[in-house]
């Protein structure tokens, strides 16, 4: 019995020593990410993804790091490992593979874009990493979460996003502000395909006359033929489910062509401050776009201030930027609650916990965020959320005046 007791104490001491060594060895938490720095997606990722990732890392490290019980209840700084996926889904997959197998990242931040998130989801699942997909609009969120329980979808789907837009158009038509003619165009990529799939049945059910419904390839440079063809149809509402370069292009070409529909809606990029800065607040007055936020929220105001201070005075966009930052807050809170770099436990906490974020309290249902902002509009130099109308801070839509 004495020998057994001595042996037990020796084992316990060895385990304690091993735990102490392990705690001492956690010098940093490796967090990797891959998103576009070049190619068509660079503009979007350069506004929504990279500034918020770097702001979060800087703020976390300024506070000493992420608190880990497994590190002796100490804060451990974040070490960011980053790659350019060159706006290629194939490169995004390779980069996530490299982060998991070569860099041995503790956690990986999901990439920018619907297509990239869908392409990399199997890789996140294969290596057991939680994937908090922010910049991904897909109606398949519930289905994907069942297939890959480690995935979380925060931005909504085409049925919700496009359906909210159609509800606004329907209300404006009922009030006699616009007619029934709608022209619609979409980029032939994940976001555009999902949005148009939600818009088509919604427009039909609402009784709108869709006079134009075509796609264009990702990376299209000259959009003038599309704009001129649509102008000739004289629609009441123009809808473009576009990526940032196309959003800017459609706006520029519409100004040149003198195309002035009462409703002018563009997709990703329409909520970017750089969009307002390029065309001026007066020029884009009344332009609608994907997204929105409650700009009067104190948390949003604090976030805007911090974002500007960390990014050379540049503001966040009024849609996915704050959601991207909130996703990183969720990750940090989940890690600290678990108290260790246990990806399986952190994944479980992300799916079941409630988190206090810059966009308010977040608790996912079936790994999906419910009722996100869908439609916003430039009014008086600020981009306000319009729909869903029951969200705090929702504004009333206005008709777009002629281009200035």
Asked whether the predicted pLDDT for residue 358 surpasses 80, the reply is yes
CA–CA gap between residue 364 and residue 351 (Å, rounded): 6
pLDDT, tens digit, 9 for 90 and up, residues 197-251: 999 999 999 999 999 999 999 989 999 999 999 999 999 999 999 999 999 999 9
The DSSP element (H or E) to which 254 belongs, if any, is helix 244-257
Dihedral sign for Cα 72, 78, 83, 88, please: positive
pLDDT band at 22 (very low <50, low <70, confident <90, very high): very low
**For 29, phi and psi rounded to 5 degrees?**
-105, 115
pLDDT attached to residue 190 = 84
Sign of CA dihedral 164, 170, 173, 174: negative
User: Could you tell me which of 232, 272, 265 has the C-alpha nearest to residue 250?
Assistant: 265
Measured torsion, CA atoms of residues 249, 37, 130, 289, in degrees rounded to the nearest 10: -20
d(C-alpha 131, C-alpha 127), whole Å = 11
Mean pLDDT across 50-69:
97
Q: How confident is the model at residue 40 (pLDDT cuts 50, 70, 90)?
A: confident
Across the chain, mean pLDDT equals 93
pLDDT of residue 15: 45
Helix (H, G, I), strand (E, B) or coil at 74: strand
Q: pLDDT band for 19, please (50, 70, 90 cuts).
A: very low
Q: Between the CA of residue 80 and those of 77, 83, 99, 105, 350, what are the distances in Å? A: 10, 10, 11, 9, 21
Q: Which residue has the tokens 């703020």?
A: 59
- pTM reported for the whole predicted model: 0.85
Residue 32 three-state SS:
strand
Domains plus CATH for the chain?
28-157+297-362 (3.40.50.2300), 158-290+375-387 (3.40.50.2300)
Q: Which of 330, 312, 325, 383 is nearest to 50 (CA)?
A: 325
What token pair was written down for 292? Answer: 């929105």
Nearest to 322 by CA among 80, 142, 155: 155
Q: Is it the case that residue 396 has pLDDT exceeding 90? A: yes
* Residues 6+ positions from 350 with CB-CB distance below 8 Å: 130, 132, 152, 330, 331, 334, 364
Q: How does pLDDT run across 65-121, given as a tens digit for each residue?
A: 999 999 999 999 999 999 999 999 999 999 999 999 999 999 999 999 988 999 999
Outline where 156-272 has alpha helix (H): 158-174, 190-205, 224-231, 244-257
**pLDDT tier for residue 138 given thresholds of 50, 70 and 90:** confident
Chain length of the chain: 404
Q: Which residue has the tokens 């919604």?
A: 202
């Amino acid at each position: 019995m004495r020998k057994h007791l001595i042996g037990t104490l020796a084992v316990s001491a060895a385990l304690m020593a091993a735990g102490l060594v392990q705690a001492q060895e956690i010098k940093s938490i490796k967090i990797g990410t891959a998103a576009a720095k070049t190619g068509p997606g660079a503009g979007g990722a350069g506004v929504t993804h990279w500034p918020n990732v770097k702001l979060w890392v800087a703020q976390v490290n300024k506070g000493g790091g992420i608190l880990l019980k497994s590190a002796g209840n100490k804060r451990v700084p974040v070490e960011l490992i980053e790659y350019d996926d060159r706006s290629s889904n194939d490169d995004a997959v390779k980069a996530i593979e490299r982060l998991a197998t070569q860099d041995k990242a503790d956690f990986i931040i999901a990439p920018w874009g619907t297509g990239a998130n869908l392409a990399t989801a199997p890789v996140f699942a294969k290596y057991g990493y939680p994937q908090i997909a922010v910049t991904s609009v897909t109606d398949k969120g519930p289905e994907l979460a069942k297939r890959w329980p480690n995935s979380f979808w925060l931005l909504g789907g085409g049925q919700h996003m496009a359906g909210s837009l159609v509800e606004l158009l329907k209300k404006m038509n009922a009030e006699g502000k616009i007619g029934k003619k709608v022209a619609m165009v979409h980029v032939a990529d994940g976001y555009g395909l999902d949005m148009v799939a939600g818009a088509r049945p919604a427009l039909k059910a609402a009784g709108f006359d869709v006079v134009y419904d075509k796609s264009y390839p990702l990376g299209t440079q000259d959009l003038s033929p599309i704009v001129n063809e649509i102008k000739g149809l004289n629609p009441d509402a123009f809808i473009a489910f576009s990526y940032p370069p196309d959003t800017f292009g459609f706006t520029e070409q519409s100004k040149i062509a003198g195309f002035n529909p009462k409703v002018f809606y563009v997709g990703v990029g329409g909520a970017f401050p750089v969009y307002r800065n390029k065309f001026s607040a007066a020029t884009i007055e009344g332009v609608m776009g994907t997204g929105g936020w409650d700009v009067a929220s104190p948390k949003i105001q604090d976030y805007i201030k911090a974002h500007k201070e960390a990014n050379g005075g540049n503001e966040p966009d009024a849609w996915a930027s704050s959601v991207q930052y909130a996703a990183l807050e969720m990750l940090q809170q989940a890690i600290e609650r678990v108290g260790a770099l246990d990806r399986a436990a952190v994944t479980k906490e992300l799916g079941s916990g409630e988190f206090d974020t810059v966009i308010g309290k977040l608790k996912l249902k079936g790994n999906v965020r419910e009722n996100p902002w869908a439609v916003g509009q430039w009014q008086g130099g600020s981009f306000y959320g319009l729909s869903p109308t029951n969200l705090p801070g929702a504004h009333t839509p206005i008709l777009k005046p002629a281009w200035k």
